[in-house]
Each structure stands twice: as C-alpha cells, then as structure tokens.
Structure 1
C-alpha cells in the first residue's frame, strides 16, 4: 500500500507542478475574463462524455468475452474497466490497469489466458487505431511538429507501439518459443534468488505454460471463428476514442471558442503516442507539457492552461476518483491491489 501511495503522490506532484508551470506562462487578464464567462453546461457535457467512455469500454470488454464463450454482465464489465483506471493513472504507460482487469475477469470465471487475450486484444485494438490515425495526424501537423520538438518523442512512441504489436503477434504465432523464453527468464531469476530447486518453480512454469496455451487458443479464435468479437471490439474501440477525443472540442465550446474538431482530434492522436512512453507514472508531466505544445497550435495562448487543466481533470483526476472508489469500495479488492503494487 505504501508503494501505491508513493506512485500516487509522485503522479499528482508531477502533474500539479506541470499545470502550475503552464498556468504561470499562459495566465493573463483575458484568461480570467474567459473563466468568468465559462459555459458550465459544456463542462458538464464533457464530464458526461468521459463517463460514457467507461460504458463503451465495458461494452467492448463484454463483447470480446462473449464471443470467447464467457458471459460477463454489462454492469460488472463497466466496474472492471473503471476500477482499472486508478492503477492505470499511477503507473507508466497505464500498464498497471491490465493485470487488475485480468484478475477481475478471472473472478467472472474467465480463464487467465482468455482474460489476457481480451485485455491485450483491447490494448492492440487501441494501438492499431492510433497507429493508423498517426500518419493522418502527422500530415495535418506537417512542418509544425519539428518546430515544437515533439517529433523524436512521437517517433519513439510509434516504434514502441509497433514493437509491442509485433511481440504479441509473435507470441500468438509461436507459443512454443514464447514458453521457452518465459521459462528461461524464470529459471534465471530462480538461480539468482537461490530458489532453483523449489517445487514451486515447477508448478509456476507448468501454470505459465497453460496460460500461454490458453492465450494462444483465445487469440487464434479471435482471428478465425471469433471474428465477430474482434469486429464488435473494433467498433467499440472507435466509438470509445471518438467520445474521449470529443472532450477537448466541448471544453473549447465551453470557453466560447471554435471546437476545432479535426485538428484537436489529430493533436490528441499524437498525444496518445507520447503517453505510451513509460517515463512517468500516469504519464504525468508528459501529458500536461505534450498537451500544452500540441493544443497551442489551435488554442489561444491565454486559454491553453485552462484547456489543459480541464482536459487533465477528466483524464487523470476523475479516473483517480472514480477508479479508486470502485476499486476500494465497490469491488472490495484491496488485498489484490496491495499485492500488485508490492
């Protein structure tokens, strides 16, 4: 629990310091006037959009489980994905949310391998959509990204997404090699820690082999007989990101600015690539500074700080509040969370 608190404090500290810095350099009398004239109904709409994204995410998880032959109710699926947003917000690349979703799907009688296939399948669908959209976004920002100094980070993010995609494809295509690689790593760690002769080691490797086989079967099913699950997962993925990206145009309308839908969507695609980089917990600092650089291309300077604060309030702070509440109060799964963060 202490480790969880540490990551939470670090994430919030970096985020708050970054926001203070952005506000310091962009605050002027026009900013205060815009705040006085803000249209709260649009901020409420942005809040509703983010809450709707939880539902779409849950529907995606449910549909992919359903076509693997496992029935997860809509409310439970929404609880599972919502609870994972807390850990995702305090771990680099949001990676902490995936193990928790696998664990909670396991409580719904979804085998670990199948649950892993669903969770990684969702991550891959997100990655594919962002990778496909990235060339269009880069075209819209041609000649600008190099000036802002984000081009190197964008390329690194794309490479990391592509590498992850290739590794998962290889793991699915060659499960035997994947098992050998994992077993080698586990045995090396066991030798270093002096537990190479432990009976638990053999049980662990046997269980891991079963999980990999199950994962392979589930992913193979998705691309053969379970293509409907992949199709509906793709539809929900597109809807999810449209709703998430729509928050920035709505925030702009709340500040009495043009929504700039196309360019704001393109900026957020590039921003999502930056957030893939495992640099800080919850991508704090990277998100605020990256958003400041990209949003400055279509948002007046005196409003950049307000837009970034509002956007981050929904994408980080709301996730911490809602995800934390669901994890600790509704799911009552604190013991697992403690173990996960050790």
Structure 2
C-alpha cells in the first residue's frame, strides 16, 4: 500500500497547495461577503449532477458490454465506473482508471480482450467528442483570452489527444502490426532477462496473442453486429459530457454568478484538454491553475478562489471520497488496488 499512499498524498498535497495559492492571489473583502451569500441547495444540486454523470457512465458501460454479448448488471456497472474514478484521481491523464475498469469487468467473467475493447472504446468516444468540440471552444475563447501562451498549451493538449487517438485507431485498423510490435517488445525483454526466464515470456506471448485476438474481434464486432450498441454508446457519451458540464453552471448559480452558459461549457471543454496532458497525479495543480485561468473570463477575481475550490471539491475530492469507499467495498483485498498502481 506504500505506492497507493504516496500517490494519494502527492495528488492531494499539490492540489491543496495550489488552491491555497489561488485563494491568496484572489481574496479581498468582497470574497468574505460573497461567502455569506452562498446558496447551499445549488451546491448540493451540483454534487447530485456530478453523481448523475457517473450513473450515465455506468449505463454506457453496461450498453457497450451488452453489445458484445455480455450481461453486466447496472449496479455492477455503477460500482466499476465509480471505483475507477478513485484511481483516475491519482494518476496523470486519469489513466489509472482504465486498468481497474478492465480488471473489474474481467472479474465479472468478461474476457480481457472484450473488457479492453469496452474501456478503450469509451476512451475513444470521449476523445472524439472533446476533439470535435475543442475547435469551437477555442474559436469562442480566442478573442476573449488573447493569451498566446495559453493558446499554445491548449493546442499542445489537442495535438496530444489526436496523437493518442491516432495510435488507438491504427492499432485497431492494423491488428497484425500491433501484434508484431508487442511480440517484438516481449522478445526483447526475454533476451534481457536470460534463457532461464524464457518460459515466462513465452507464456506472456501466448496470452498477449489470445487477448489481442479477442480485443480486435470485439472492436470489429462493435463496427458490424454491435453497431446499435456503439450508436447507443455514442449517445450515452454525449449525455455524459452534457450532464458533467452542466454541474458548473449550477455551481455558479449557487455562488450568485450568472455567466453565459455557452462560455461556461466552452471553458470546460478546453479545461479537459489541459487536464488530459500527462503531468501530475490526478492533474493536481494543473487543473486548479487551468480552471483559474479559464474561469477568470466569466468570474470576478474576488470569486475565483471560491469557484475553483467548489469545482475541485466536486470533481476531485468527491471522486476520492465516493470512489475510495466503493473501491474498498468491492475489492476484497486492497493489494489489488496497489498492484494496479504499479
């Protein structure tokens, strides 16, 4: 559990230190006055919307698993996506959530290849929607921000997403080359560790071949017989991001701020691109600074600290709290979590 504790501590400390910095930079007498006018019901509603997003995510996982012929109970689907948010909150680009989701789907009697197809399929759908919306969001913010450095960072994030998406699509489209590349890596490792370990790598090689075959079969099944499930998954992805991005406008209303909804949605699209760049665990620090910069377009300076704290509390600390509770509830041995973080 040492690595688990380390990642949790690092992500939390970076986030807290950054939030304190934002508060120190933005606080003034009006800030304290604004705190007295907070409407708690709106904050509770914003938290409810965030949890509703998890529900939609669980429905998407269930639908896409069903398209491959595997029955996944809705309760199990919710547990899988909520628990994955716990590890995602502690790893760069939220990549820690994917291995856990694959592991939990596999434990529900789904082959690793099919589980990987479902999880990566969700990741690809998310990337496509964010990448499609990003140019419109950039265009909307371009004249307002007038910050060349931020534009460069956002463009870098978008290019990174395109790069990852291109690799995934190529691996799906050319399975033969994917298999050859992975086998080349396994052979190199086999030579590095010597002949006495060769049998281990032979077993790994056979396992990789089997699971890659299942993965590619599942992907092409999505594109042929499972098209209805894929189309439903696309609809669920749109619904998920709409629900998730609707949390911030409600949060702002609870803090007596009423900016243009389009600007608020656009800011979150750009923020997702910044957060996805692999930097710190859980994008701690990067998320707070990015939110401060983007939210400053439609939020007064004296309110920025409060807004960023409230937004991060729901999207990061709530994920840790709820995701951690569910993770340790469904995983009998917490060593499994530690193994996934290695």
Q: Normalising by structure 2, what TM-score?
A: 0.97
1:191 counterpart residue number: 191
- Residue 167 of structure 1 corresponds to 167
SS of the counterpart of 1:90?
coil
Q: Which moved more, 1:305-314 or 1:185-194?
A: 185-194
* 1:80 aligned partner: 80
Name the structure 1 match of 2:230.
230
Matches within 5 A, 1:69-218: 69-147=69-147, 149-194=149-194, 197-218=197-218
1:297 corresponds to: 297
- Do the aligned partners of 2:90 and 2:282 also contact (CA within 8 Å) in 1? yes
Q: Which runs of 4+ in 1 moved over 4 A?
A: none
Q: 1:148 to 1:252 in 2, by over 3 A?
A: farther
Unpaired runs of at least 5, structure 1: none
1:315 is the counterpart of 2:318:
no
Match of 1:285 in 2: 285
Q: Is the 8 A contact 1:327 1:333 kept in 2?
A: no
Offset of residue 194 of structure 1: 3.4
Aligned residues: 342
C-alpha distance in 2 between matches for 1:81 and 1:338: 18
Matched residues in 2 for 1:306 and 1:229: separation? 41
Distance, in Å, in 2 between the alignment partners of 1:227 and 1:249 is 34
Q: List per-residue Cα deviations over 1:210-252 (Å, max 9, x = no partner).
A: 1111111111111122111111111111111111111111111
- 1:211 and 1:85 map into 2 onto residues whose CA distance is 25
- Distance, in Å, in 2 between the alignment partners of 1:339 and 1:195 is 27
Q: Bigger shift: 145-154 or 113-122? A: 145-154
Aligned to 1:41, the other structure's residue is in SS state helix
Evaluate the alpha carbon distance shift between residue 148 and residue 300 of structure 1 in structure 2; reply closer, same or farther with a 3 A threshold. farther
- Structure 2, unaligned runs of 5 or more: none
Map of 2:250 onto structure 1? 250
Deviation at 1:259, TM superposition (A): 4.4
Distance in 2 between residues matched to 1:296 and 1:148, nearest whole Å: 16
Q: Distance in 2 between matches of 1:252 and 1:93?
A: 26
> What is the rounded CA distance, in whole Å, between the counterparts of 2:64 and 2:328 in structure 1?
26
**Structure-2 separation of matches of 1:328 and 1:148:** 44
CA deviation map 1:176-233 (0-9, x unaligned)? 1101101111222232333675211111011101111111111111112211111111
Alpha-carbon distance in 2 for matches of 1:133, 1:238: 11
In structure 1, the residue matched to 2:261 is 261
